[in-house]
Amino acid sequence: MSSLIALLDCNNFYASCERVMDPKLHGKPVVVLSNNDGCVVARSNEAKALGIGMGVPEFQIRSLLRAHDVQVLSSNYALYGDMSQRVMETLEQFCPDLEVYSIDEAFLSLSGFTSRNLSEYAHRIRATVKRWTGIPVSVGIAETKTLAKIANRVAKRTPDTDGVFDLFTCSDREALLNRIPVNDVWGIGPNYARFLQQHGILTALQLRHANDQFIRKHMGVVGLRLVMELRGVSCLALDQCPAPKQGITCSRAFGKPVTTLTEMEEAVSSYAARAAEKLRAEKLAVTTVTVFLKTNEFKDTPQYSNTLTFTLPVATDTTTELIRAALRGIQRIYREGYLYKKAGVMFTGLVSANQIQGDLFDSQDRARSKRLMVALDAINDRFGADTLRYASSGLVKSWRTRFHRRSPAYTTDWKDLPIVFTS
């Protein structure tokens, strides 16, 4: 008996979260925008039906949005993170062998459930998630992750499946796979799709029957694994305890172009502080810091971008040191005379915070820094992000990312708690 996997995926996740908290959004087209209210990152079914594409810049569809009274919201990541946790906790009650794959998806191992009617079980999971969290989900079942992804797509797009599709027991798999465009296969992005189409491979079925050597040569071992998975040979195991993070990044596009070193320093200082918070939340310390900046590639103005990576003498998780390091870096690559659009700070070479190796010439008082960071995080956690912050991050922050249409902090701020009236 081969193993079976279910992929559970929340429908239109960000838009669905907004609807849970604001029922007025039901039945209306809803879109959620990325940082800076730049691009569409989530769409309700009604918005999809209007032809609004994923990733489209908001300014390009502004008249369409207005004409159809589309409800437009900025991203509210605190809300989505909370809702995600509720969904995952619900799933765990049904199936403890699960891999949380992303904010809105989980793979479930159904190997121990083969005596059941799996479709029926999936319908029960789906109904329970809806009842407990308000989030609609779809479930795809198959022998491998890649096939489960395809099954999930069928469940989402075929109304009479009622949100659950079992590809394993499907009688006409070949015909079904032949209706899946190759660019819809998990792991086939724009580049591979174009390449495969040029070689006459247009569907998931054709990719499944592709020549192994050909795939190995042009798409590497990743491509070969993908093809094997399409054939029902599991190559991507369920990963219940994800590997520790390899890097932590904080980067943002500016709300308006940055033209002075002072503003750039403020931004980079804020990003370093934010990345340092994430670092401590994961109980990690960093040895390698990368800073980068770039101008707006969509514009016809002079272009410049640069990146600098350097290694710290001693691994650290202290905001003060990391800001200082990031500022030294950005000062070296900053050039006058450009309109900067984006900058960022990346931490790599992460080590566990409790095994920091000191060095002979280390002059920092580590115990003192540690106490300071614990206090800083506790205050910001209690009273809200940025209650305490470093002066180098600036006060005015005219470069800051814009969120003009953010919904309230329903789940993370008492004053935004939703109020329910009953009659």
198 binds DNA (CB under 7 A): no
Applying CB under 7 A, which of residues 81, 96, 181, 220 lies at the interface with DNA? 220
241 binds DNA (CB under 7 A): no
Angle CA 77–81–83, to nearest 5: 115
* Nearest CA among 45, 38, 46 for reference residue 62: 38
**Closer to DNA at the Cβ: 161 or 296?**
296
251 binds DNA (CB under 7 A): yes
Q: Which of residues 45-64 bind DNA (CB under 7 A)?
A: 55, 57, 59
3-state secondary structure of 89: helix
Alpha-carbon dihedral sign for residues 236, 239, 245, 248: positive
CB of 132 to DNA, least distance (A): 21
3-state secondary structure of 221: helix
Rounded-to-integer distance, Cα 18 and Cα 12, Å: 10
**Closer to DNA at the Cβ: 149 or 280?**
149
CB of 371 to DNA, least distance (A): 25
Q: Give the binding range for DNA (CB under 7 A) out of 38-46, 156-164, 198-206, 375-383.
A: 38-46
Tell me the pairing of strands 105-109 and 98-102: antiparallel
Cβ partners under 8 Å of residue 231, min gap 6 = 208
Q: Which of residues 89-148 bind DNA (CB under 7 A)?
A: 101-105
Applying CB under 7 A, which of residues 43, 126, 145, 149 lies at the interface with DNA? 149
Helices 145-157, 212-230: crossing angle, 10 deg rounding: 60
Rounded-to-integer distance, Cα 149 and Cα 154, Å: 9
* Number of other CB atoms surrounding residue 129 within 10 Å: 22
CB of 292 to DNA, least distance (A): 11
3-state secondary structure of 159: helix
CB of 105 to DNA, least distance (A): 5
Question: What is the token pair recorded at 301?
Answer: 């103005």
Helices 319-333, 261-281: crossing angle, 10 deg rounding: 140
Applying CB under 7 A, which of residues 163, 329, 344, 394 lies at the interface with DNA? 344
Applying CB under 7 A, which of residues 120, 131, 198, 243 lies at the interface with DNA? 243
Q: How many residues at the interface with DNA, by CB under 7 A?
A: 47
Edge-to-edge strand order for the sheet containing 105-109? 98-102, 105-109, 5-10, 137-142, 164-166
Q: Give the binding range for DNA (CB under 7 A) out of 125-133, 185-193, 359-367, 370-378.
A: 185-193
Tell me the pairing of strands 30-33 and 71-74: parallel
**Closer to DNA at the Cβ: 16 or 121?**
16
Q: Which of residues 289-318 bind DNA (CB under 7 A)?
A: 296, 298-299, 309
Applying CB under 7 A, which of residues 21, 85, 119, 187 lies at the interface with DNA? 187
User: What H or E segment, with its residue span, contains residue 203?
Assistant: none
**Closer to DNA at the Cβ: 121 or 225?**
225
Applying CB under 7 A, which of residues 134, 257, 356, 397 lies at the interface with DNA? 257
For DNA, the binding residues (CB under 7 A) are 34-36, 38-39, 41, 55, 57, 59, 101-105, 149, 186-193, 220-222, 243, 245-253, 256-257, 278, 296, 298-299, 309, 341-342, 344, 401
